[in-house]
Each structure stands twice: as structure tokens, then as C-alpha cells.
Amino acid sequence: MSTLARIAIAGDHHGLELIDRIVSVYSGLGHDVVDLAPRVEGIIDYPPLCAAVAGRVACGDADLGIIVGGSGQGEVIACNKVPGIRAGVAYSEFSVDISRGNNNANIMVIGTKVIDESTALHLLDRWLHTPFKGGVHAQRVAQIAQIEADFMTRP
């Protein structure tokens, strides 16, 4: 996405410093970044934060979302429980290229125990600038959406 985006961001206690840096950098570039991360002492549970960011993306209040946690694994699972969300963990250029280019991911999940700040910022920039390829990948994204729809309508 080479245009400016509305981005919702949140994370747990592992991600607060990186969130502050991302908000500063990407707001400075002109993106509309909404920081939903609580600033409290102690441990912060990530599932409600994932639901908040994913909810904003799913309902169209944000174009994209970013979640910052420890490993990113639980966060990606929580995000993907929200219909219409395609979240991917960003741990390498390859993972970013696939999640955006092939899967049209709308939430990027960063694990601060997996990558450092410099790598996270590099991967985020790559993620924001990687276009969805469409074609056969669009068919697969549509199939994923159909799985969601089928399970949502089951008695």
C-alpha cells in the first residue's frame, strides 16, 4: 500500500516501546495511526487488544492493523478469530511478502522476542509497500472467506 493508510495498532506489555516508535514514525509519514495500546503497569493480556484492532479493520474504521506482542503466535490466532481478518506473523521478508502479496493480510503481527526494532520497522515498511497479487491468490482469499461464511451460518 503505497498510499497513506488508516492504521490501528495495539500490543501487550512486550510491545509498548515498539508501538511508540511505530506510531511516531508512521504518523510522521502522514498515516493516520490510532494507538489502542493501554499504558498500564504489569502484564497486559493480548486477546482483547487483538479483538479491538481486528474489529476496527473488519468494520472498515481502519485500513490495516498492527499487533505487537512477545512471540506473535497467540496474537495471530486471536486476530484470525474475527471474520474478515487475515493476520500474519512478520518474522522475515519472505513471511511479509507471502502474507501481503499472496494472502492480502490486513493485520501484521510482530513478535518482539523474535525480531528487533530495526527489523520490525524494515518489515513493516515492506509490508505496507507490498501489493496484493490477485489472480489465483484472490481465488484462495475468496475460498478462505467462504470457509468463514460457512461456519458463521451453521446451526
Q: Is the pLDDT of residue 1 over 70?
A: no
CATH topology of domain 6-152: Ribose 5-phosphate Isomerase B; Chain: A, (3.40.1400)
pLDDT per position as a tens digit, 19-52? 999 999 999 999 999 999 999 989 999 999 999 9
**What does the radius of gyration of the chain's CA atoms come to, in whole angstroms?**
15
pLDDT per position as a tens digit, 66-104? 999 999 999 999 999 999 999 999 999 999 999 999 999
Strand residue runs (E) in the chain:
6-11, 32-35, 64-69, 87-89, 107-111
Q: Is the pLDDT of residue 2 over 80?
A: no
pLDDT per position as a tens digit, 121-155? 999 999 999 999 999 999 999 999 999 999 988 77
